[in-house]
Structure 1
Amino acid sequence: MSLSPFDHPFLSGLLGDAEVGAWLSAEADLAAMLSFERALAEAEAAEGVIEASAAAIIAEQLAGFVPDMAKLKAGLGRDGVAGPELVRQLRERVGGEAAAFVHFGATSQDLADTSLAIRLRAILEIFGQRLNGLAGALAALEKRDGATRTMAHTRMQAAIPVPAARKIRSWRDPLERHHAHLSGVADEVCVLTFGGAAGTLDKLGEKGPAVTRRMAIALGLKAVVHARHSERDGTAGLASWLSLVTGSLGKMGQDIALLAQSEVGEVKLAGGGGSSAMPHKVNPVGAEVLVTLARFNATLVSGMHQSLVHENERSGAAWTLEWMLLPQMLLATGAALRIASEVVDGVSFVDRGAQA
């Protein structure tokens, strides 16, 4: 049983996305956190902050580490973050003098935010591939059906006949713009967060920048001048981009649902949803879900903008709000891109004479 429709035992058949969801799982989060701790120890050893032997022991012990999830859950309920309990378990695992150098100079937000950045890098690569594939499918649809006559509608009233290409381009062009903007969005969120207690790396002294650069290279992330613990514009910008993507897909879904109406019939769907009471119906389920997901993300994006308001150097309230909202927006976007591809593959335009 689940409270989320994205991983619900049967609702996920409509709204789920296993590929994106895997990167948002507890297992993926923990694996990324361990990557952070390994990269931290190795970078600090390379710069002479800790002994190389300590870094080697830490890396060796992290390789087979499996956390006590019950204690991690209890610790998060107590501390508000996973870091303190996870680090305690890691130090216990490492043991000896090397244990003191686990997580040296870092803070819990460094660990959590970098884990998210590692996973966002993979998720945004998936989104880029899907956007590219969807734009290609729409281009193929335009090539095949673009000359078909359809009726343009303004303010839901018949206007003038136009080629189907006019409608298809209005679906495809925004997606190409979103794809073009994706690299800039990724550049602002796929960053290393490493600042220590209050973002100053005080325990590392002059070695801080060099350790940061080494960690960023090892983790495949961007190094920034200072940790963005309370500067959340990149994350809010990502949320805005997600809402734009699903909004554009929702517009396409709305158009297709209207064009597929029995009274209009300018679009034929290769597949659709059945009815328990009216077996003759072919419901535009995929197109409708695109509208739903667009409205869902448009609702959540306002909450992500609320999370911009961090008091001073770190906010537990604003940060926790991100944890609640961003994963859902990512899953909604993944599902929308998946469903949109299925919808477009099943669409064909029908020439009904484009008469008013």
Structure 2
Amino acid sequence: MATPDPARTPSPLPAERVRLADVSPSIALGPLDGRYRGTVAPLVDHLSEAALNRARLAVEVEWVVHLTTHQVVPGAPVLADDEVAYLRGVVASFGADEIAELAEIERTTVHDVKAVEYFLKRRIAAAPEALRAGTVLPQVAELVHFALTSEDVNNLSYALMVRGAVHEVWLPAAAALADDVADLAREHAQVPMLALTHGQPATPTTLGKELAVLAHRLRRQLRRIASDEVLGKLNGATGTYGAHVAAVPDADWPEVSRTFVEHLGLVWNPLTTQIESHDWQAELYADVARYNRVLHNLATDVWTYISRGVFTQIPVAGATGSSTMPHKVNPIRFENAEANLEVSCALLDTLGATLVTSRLQRDLTDSTTQRNIGPAFGHSLLAIDNVRRGLRALSVDEALLARELDQNWEVLGEAVQSAMRAASVAGVTGMENPYERLKELTRGHRLTGDEMRSFVAGLGLPGDVAERLAAMTPATYVGLAAELVTRLDG
């Protein structure tokens, strides 16, 4: 049969149709700005293009304030409190109209950072009318972007944006999810459950202990992320303070740079090329990706528990699980989370791998790369939201767990042979080859409680040991599982 030629195969779509690219308001190309906009919208305030320009504006404003406050440039006036407030108000009031104005300026400059400089200079020129006559602000107009390269502004802006996105949006959501898992762990700390290692029945545990493991893992990553350093630099076009020294040779420019970067709440990087090296970003994104992967493990485990019937899902009124099978309640929250975590990790891995390399003193690869920080966090935030929603719709089938345990008495083989070993060390005779004897009894066999108790009774164990093992059931053979859950509060 001949292979169809796509160019000659008729399309099922009508030839004359509405051009969706021309529809107003604009249709989002990606799901984060379309279908899932409501969930990830808080990140727009930190990681969007508008947020980048607002952060740039904030850096430019604070640089003018810093230079004048510390009298770095001879002859520059000291700004009054209302003048500083006016400049900072330019940042605070940056909204839809200002975004449009800045875009209009950039169409002329064809340079985003230069457009921000001109935008701020417009506001400074308007200060006598907008603030008060006699203001000294017009005298400091040339301190806007003074001795800076675009990357001085950009690296500080991205540092402020990422720090804000992580600490104000992502971390609270990620921590709330870990708390949800911890709450479930405490609730089910004493619910015995058959463990599966390699998919086979193994030493029983409790459902709460297994959830506690995941909560503990998530929280460990959160502690790392919360303590990650956010670096910034301000040292000119190739990191030498060349323009700074040429303009004002008597200033201690490294100290001016350090105090300014720390004024922004960042960690000062004293040695860079034209760009801040982005190593801190790679470190942070690796930690966030690791949190994602632990969460992915949680999602796949919960999905598996649902498929086993350990968890049942509470149906949502009016919702459809399958277009053809009306009985189904699909674990879509966890499947959606898996997919979004994988996309997020792919982006975070790419960011971490590419941002740490820049040819010689600077190339422009990081410019486009960093514009994908938002989607990387967006897909993670969407996954977190889905898992939280999914966890709230779960109910535990304790009867099923009890039946599974009662059908697998052979899992007590570990307990019995361990007790035989201890008895042998204590000098009890007849305890030879405990592992091999339990292996012969249990491997590949389903035992009943009576069979296991009969075997134990014939071993010749000390009375107290035999009595303890005879009373043991798969449901009670959970060791310290319930107690271990309390470690979450340690």
CA deviations on 1:32-55 (whole Å, 9 max, x unpaired) are 222111110111112323344386
Residue of structure 2 equivalent to 1:318: 366
Residue of structure 1 equivalent to 2:113: 83
Higher Cα radius of gyration = 2
Q: For the Cα contact (< 8 Å) 1:254–1:291, is it kept in 2?
A: yes
Q: Which of these residues, 196, 213, 230, is aligned with residue 236 of structure 2?
A: 196
Q: What is the Cα-based RMSD across aligned positions, in Å?
A: 2.7
SS of aligned partner of 2:312 = strand
Structure 2: stretches of 5+ with no match in the other structure: 1-26, 126-137, 246-250, 409-490
Change (3 A) 1:88 1:266: same
Change (3 A) 1:153 1:75: farther
Q: Residue 223 in 1 paired to residue 268 in 2?
A: yes
Q: Which of these residues, 198, 216, 220, is aligned with residue 177 of structure 1?
A: 220
Identity %: 21
Q: For the Cα contact (< 8 Å) 2:170–2:377, is it kept in 1?
A: no
SS of aligned partner of 1:260 = helix
Q: For the Cα contact (< 8 Å) 2:306–2:331, is it kept in 1?
A: yes
Q: Residue 270 in 1 paired to residue 270 in 2?
A: no
Task: Map 1:272-311; keep pairs closer than 5 Å.
Answer: 274-275=320-321, 276-304=323-351, 305-311=353-359
Residues in 2 aligned to 1:122 and 1:270: alpha-carbon distance in whole angstroms: 36
Equivalent position amino acid for 1:84 in 2? K
Bigger drift between 267-276 and 113-122 goes to: 267-276
Q: For the Cα contact (< 8 Å) 1:38–1:59, is it kept in 2?
A: no
SS of aligned partner of 2:195 = strand
Q: Residue 106 in 1 paired to residue 148 in 2?
A: yes
Bigger drift between 329-338 and 237-246 goes to: 329-338
Q: Residue 33 in 1 paired to residue 56 in 2?
A: yes
Bigger drift between 51-60 and 148-157 goes to: 51-60
SS of aligned partner of 1:106 = coil
Q: For the Cα contact (< 8 Å) 1:54–1:98, is it kept in 2?
A: no
Bigger drift between 123-132 and 290-299 goes to: 123-132
Change (3 A) 1:274 1:72: farther
Equivalent position amino acid for 1:103 in 2? H
Change (3 A) 1:290 1:75: farther
TM-score, normalisation: structure 1:
0.85
Task: Map 1:107-186; keep pairs closer than 5 Å.
Answer: 107-125=149-167, 126-185=169-228
Offset at residue 292 of structure 1 (A): 0.9
CA deviations on 1:58-82 (whole Å, 9 max, x unpaired) are 8735634725243355368x44xx2
Residues in 1 aligned to 2:145 and 2:78: alpha-carbon distance in whole angstroms: 12
Q: For the Cα contact (< 8 Å) 2:68–2:79, is it kept in 1?
A: yes
Bigger drift between 105-114 and 57-66 goes to: 57-66
Offset at residue 248 of structure 1 (A): 1.0
Equivalent position amino acid for 2:50 in 1? E
Residues in 2 aligned to 1:227 and 1:42: alpha-carbon distance in whole angstroms: 24
The count of residues paired between Structure 1 and Structure 2 equals 344
Offset at residue 108 of structure 1 (A): 1.1
Q: Residue 327 in 1 paired to residue 360 in 2?
A: no
Residues in 1 aligned to 2:144 and 2:384: alpha-carbon distance in whole angstroms: 40
Q: For the Cα contact (< 8 Å) 2:194–2:204, is it kept in 1?
A: yes
Residue of structure 2 equivalent to 1:344: 391
Residues in 2 aligned to 1:347 and 1:216: alpha-carbon distance in whole angstroms: 47
Q: Residue 71 in 1 paired to residue 113 in 2?
A: no
Change (3 A) 1:218 1:306: closer
Change (3 A) 1:28 1:149: same
CA deviations on 1:259-287 (whole Å, 9 max, x unpaired) are 112xx210123356623333322121211
Residues in 2 aligned to 1:306 and 1:192: alpha-carbon distance in whole angstroms: 18
Offset at residue 310 of structure 1 (A): 0.4
Equivalent position amino acid for 1:2 in 2? A
Task: Map 1:234-273; keep pairs closer than 5 Å.
Answer: 234-261=280-307, 264-270=308-314
Task: Map 1:6-45; keep pairs closer than 5 Å.
Answer: 6-8=32-34, 10-12=35-37, 16-45=39-68
Offset at residue 157 of structure 1 (A): 4.4
Tell which has more relative contact order, 1 or 2 (C-alpha 8 A, sep 6+): 1
Residues in 2 aligned to 1:39 and 1:160: alpha-carbon distance in whole angstroms: 61
SS of aligned partner of 1:17 = helix
Q: For the Cα contact (< 8 Å) 1:149–1:162, is it kept in 2?
A: yes
TM-score, normalisation: structure 2:
0.63
Bigger drift between 85-94 and 191-200 goes to: 85-94
Change (3 A) 1:227 1:34: farther
Bigger drift between 60-69 and 145-154 goes to: 60-69
Offset at residue 27 of structure 1 (A): 3.4
Equivalent position amino acid for 2:103 in 1? A
Q: For the Cα contact (< 8 Å) 1:106–1:194, is it kept in 2?
A: yes
